[in-house]
Structure 1
Amino acid sequence: MPLAIRRILVLCEGNHCRSPLAEALLRKALDPGIEVRSAGLGALVAQPAHEETRRLAAELGLDLEAHRGRQVSPELIRDSDLVLVMDRAQKEACEALTPHARGRVFLLGHWLSSEGEGTDAGKTGGQEIADPIQGGPEAHRLACEHIQGAIQTWLPRLAPRNP
């Protein structure tokens, strides 16, 4: 049975590459009644999504032109039923910023098994999604593929529009 999730917050470091893309993909896949937002722990506030992220999003039929970076706040975390982060350090930082969010903060790749660890995702917490910001187009494409795969694993748990 899907969880009773109405508000999802997706976090990455700068709210520049990974979280804007994940936000757009989740919005497209989920019922319009589920609010999806994104922010960054060290956001590039008011900056547009990375050019390569915008290009990849456009290939997927998504428009990130209006996206502007937003800094996470305790209020954004508090107002979210589910917080999805890209790596374990971000999970720890999010929980340190808002301790009562523990139990609602997960890796976006939570349901993916860790490389070299078989299907032991429950014990390891799944896969991290590397930041492509210092990499070229291939790093961005790889992050995009990981984000898409991770989102597919969440959809059955989040009441998708088309089950």
Structure 2
Amino acid sequence: MQRILFVCTGNTCRSPMAEAILKGKKIDGFEVKSAGIYAATGSEASAHAKKVLDDHRIDHQHSSHLLDRASVQWADLILTMTGSHKNAILHQYPETARKVFTLKEFTGEQYDVDVVDPYGGSLAIYQETYQELDHLISKAIEKIQSSQ
């Protein structure tokens, strides 16, 4: 079982979308959760994130979680949305160095390592973020499955 933790800032946009996308693929052998570096515990996903997931017929139920030691220890792989998220985790939990990557870094992206934060943006921006996450998660799954 591969346990993947997606991390963003507030755990209301990118990381819950990534969690829902991976869960929606219904692939055996994966457990997935999400958390935020600065999340308030118990918040729902943003309205636009929920709308985009609904538009793609992806079931989702989300309550935000602050990244904590238990989550970090639970995960086999921690995929962050930005380089600053990765650095924050490495600073607070240096023992995670072997298992924390930006999502783009993990999938082999060479240039911009950040998934743009759609927070406060239009539905179209959330749709673009969804498309990017879906593509990156498919690449991540391929990489994980080819290494098993």
Could you state the TM-score of these two structures normalised by the residue count of structure 1? 0.82
Deviation at 1:158, TM superposition (A): 2.5
Instruction: Find the counterpart in structure 2 of residue 77 from structure 1.
Output: 72
| 1:29-68 → structure 2 map (5 Å cutoff) | 29=25, 31-64=27-60, 66-68=61-63
Q: Distance in 1 between matches of 2:23 and 2:144?
A: 11
Q: Distance in 2 between matches of 1:80 and 1:40?
A: 14
User: Match for 1:147 among 107, 123, 133?
Assistant: 133
Question: Residues 56 and 112 (structure 1 numbering): CA distance in 2 closer, same or farther, change over 3 Å?
Answer: farther
| 1:17-28 → structure 2 map (5 Å cutoff) | 17-28=13-24
SS for the counterpart of 1:44 is: coil
User: Match for 2:93 among 95, 98, 114?
Assistant: 98
Query: Is residue 134 of structure 1 aligned with residue 120 of structure 2?
Result: yes
Q: Distance in 2 between matches of 1:129 and 1:29?
A: 20
User: Match for 1:107 among 102, 106, 110?
Assistant: 102
Q: Distance in 1 between matches of 2:91 and 2:117?
A: 21
Alignment check: 8 A CA contact 1:17 1:49 kept? yes
- The structure with the larger Rg is 1
SS for the counterpart of 1:38 is: strand
Instruction: Find the counterpart in structure 1 of residue 145 from structure 2.
Output: 159
Q: Distance in 2 between matches of 1:138 and 1:13?
A: 20
Could you state the TM-score of these two structures normalised by the residue count of structure 2? 0.89
Decide which structure has greater helix share: 2
Deviation at 1:19, TM superposition (A): 0.5
Deviation at 1:38, TM superposition (A): 0.4
RMSD: 1.8
SS for the counterpart of 1:158 is: helix
